[in-house]
Amino acid sequence: MMKTVCVLMLGAMLTAAAAFADEGAPKDKDAAGSKPRTAKIEHAKPEEATSDGFVTVAGSRIDYRAVAGALIVHPRGWDDTPKITGEEPETEDRQDKNRTENASAGQNPTAEAAMFYVAYIKKSAAPEGRPLTFLFNGGPGSSTIWLHMGAFGPKRVVTADDTHSPAAPYAMVDNNQSLLDASDLVFIDAPGTGFSRIAGKDKQKAFYGVDADAYAFAEFITRFLSKYGRWNSPKYLFGESYGTTRAAVLIKQLETNRYVDFNGVILLSQILNFDLSPGSPQFNPGVNLPYQLALPTYAATAWYHHKLASNLKDLDQLLDKVEHFAMTDYALALEQGGALDPGRRGTIAARLHDFTGLPVEYIKKAELRINSGEFEKTLQDDSEITTGQLDTRFSGPTMDPLSKGADYDPQTAAIGSAYVSAFNDYARKTLKYSDNKTYRPMSSLWGIWDSQHQPPGAFRALRQSPNVLPDLAWAMKYNPGLRVLVNAGYFDLATPFYEAIYEMRQLPVPDKLRANIEFKFYQSGHMVYAHEPALKELHDNVAAFIRKTGGGPSPSASNTAPEASETSSLAPLPTTQAKGAPSGGTQGLSH
């Protein structure tokens, strides 16, 4: 699987890195060489820059204040209780002195993260009645440039729908699908991504892990609520891709450890149980679900690229058949493994050919098990074309015709430059961020990421692939009013839509709480918003969800959710339908 949503962040941060790195070194002696001298420990400072703007959504003008800046957070174990007593006021200088003395005494971790954010706050709106949504992409190691510049920010970069976007200049337009009509927005870059930075002793260990990352976000959110006086606002989390994993752990931490209930959690391109990922199930033989859950996306993709037989061209009917086959005949065949009768093996291979367009002999040679990378490489192999992973509507030239799997993701190649270029231009010219900082859209963290997670009720972190379904279930039980909106694209092979359905079927909550979960499906991929019609559907669905769960103005007729994206309350769970499907198209976990 490819580890494929602004102000001066820290003027002091760039110069402080070396100081942080040396904090564990022996202390120098004074000029006389008689006693050790405590080295000065420099700390990053919270910063912000403001600007004003407006955007028009559904015909209504929204004036907003934009704040781009950084908040300082510490890992678990940090104690901000002052170690210096007296009558001196608690100024920023005093706080720095306290932190330095705490660290020097060895009482607290010295690692810090300066977490960068861009907040958009509607003017002349009372905080108590105005929803507030915290948005983040995933990776782990992804900044939130994608949700910011592609989905819900007031400006949006325009990219080609399913082909490679031409090089600069890129078009950046006012985003009439911005979510500002329903909520104030805070786009957050995870530690070490975007303009966020980490520093100090053991900094990677302090922030790069399932639980450490969620703790940092919890710290950020509570600090933001205090700084901007938003404790009594309706509150939402919006996570994409690994951001859905983060959201499940984070909402449990916020509710149970910090006593902060949220009105809703919005998940886009969900992955909560990593054992279900279709990227490399061959390394976990005996667990066949990834092959089953990816099959509906294989079928939708083959349908889109006209690789199926003529009698299977209706996507509604196709998905019904494939989902049933995946969980019945296909599941039984995979369970038998090497004991499967050769005749039955041939029958199943023929059915897989009908649903995927892959050659029968290839399917047999693969023992009926094709991972996502192999599918991407093979579907259009006769034309030396590689199919996309994040969005299988995209295709690109095959890098190595002799490779077994895909070598890259065509959608990332097609739109990455547009997003990065547009944001850098926007951040420095509009948000007044200075030109001496480097924006890191993606940081490769999988090699150092601590995937161990301590789920609710466990006495320690578990040595297994992350599964955060228990965290989301715990949060829903702890706060029975918590609502969840799951959004998924039919053409997403990084986090297949049917995987999200299966995960929610396994969510350990009472039946009455299943009614708190809704599904929306789209004719798009992992980044649903990259397809403009799906962006409108996504906006309307999310805005409606916020309005009905957190107050705010009643939706206008133009803002009601369209029939083109299916909805379900999860009681019972949906049989997916591709309503309003288009007629077809032209030929790392990540964001």
pLDDT in tens, 463-503: 889 999 999 999 999 999 999 999 999 999 999 999 999 99
Token pair for 306: 């006209």
Whether 151 and 535 have beta carbons less than 8 Å apart is answered as yes
Instruction: Give the pLDDT mean for 352-365.
Output: 97
Whether 579 and 563 have beta carbons less than 8 Å apart is answered as yes
pLDDT at 87 over 50: no
- What pLDDT does 5 receive? 34
Instruction: Give the pLDDT mean for 105-132.
Output: 86
Closest alpha carbon to 178 in 150, 215, 138: 150
Whether 365 and 557 have beta carbons less than 8 Å apart is answered as no
Whether 210 and 245 have beta carbons less than 8 Å apart is answered as yes
Closest alpha carbon to 279 in 466, 576, 527, 4: 4
pLDDT in tens, 232-281: 999 999 999 999 999 999 999 999 999 999 999 999 999 999 999 999 99
Whether 187 and 217 have beta carbons less than 8 Å apart is answered as no
- What pLDDT does 459 receive? 86
Token pair for 18: 């070396």
C-alpha span between 284 and 334 (Å, rounded): 13
Whether 75 and 207 have beta carbons less than 8 Å apart is answered as yes
- What pLDDT does 79 receive? 72
- What pLDDT does 126 receive? 93
pLDDT at 584 over 50: no
How would you class 378 by CB atoms within 10 Å of its CB: exposed for 0-12, middle for 13-18, buried for 19 or more?
A: buried
Contacts with 445 (C-beta within 8 Å, 6 or more apart), sequence order: 3, 139, 140, 141, 192, 208
pLDDT in tens, 3-52: 343 322 223 332 333 333 333 334 444 444 555 444 444 567 778 889 99
Cα 564 to Cα 87, 316, 551, distances in angstroms = 64, 12, 25
Q: % helix / strand / coil in the chain, to the nearest 5? A: 40, 15, 45
- Which domains does the chain possess? 13-75+111-275+418-568 (3.40.50.1820), 284-407 (no CATH)
pLDDT at 571 over 60: no
pLDDT in tens, 422-450: 999 999 999 998 768 899 999 988 789 99
Q: Which of 173-177, 312-316, 330-334, 583-587 has the lowest mean pLDDT?
A: 583-587
C-alpha span between 273 and 75 (Å, rounded): 25
* Most confidently predicted of 16-30, 72-86, 546-560: 72-86
Contacts with 150 (C-beta within 8 Å, 6 or more apart), sequence order: 5, 156, 157, 159, 419, 527, 529, 530, 535
Global pTM?
0.85
C-alpha span between 468 and 177 (Å, rounded): 31
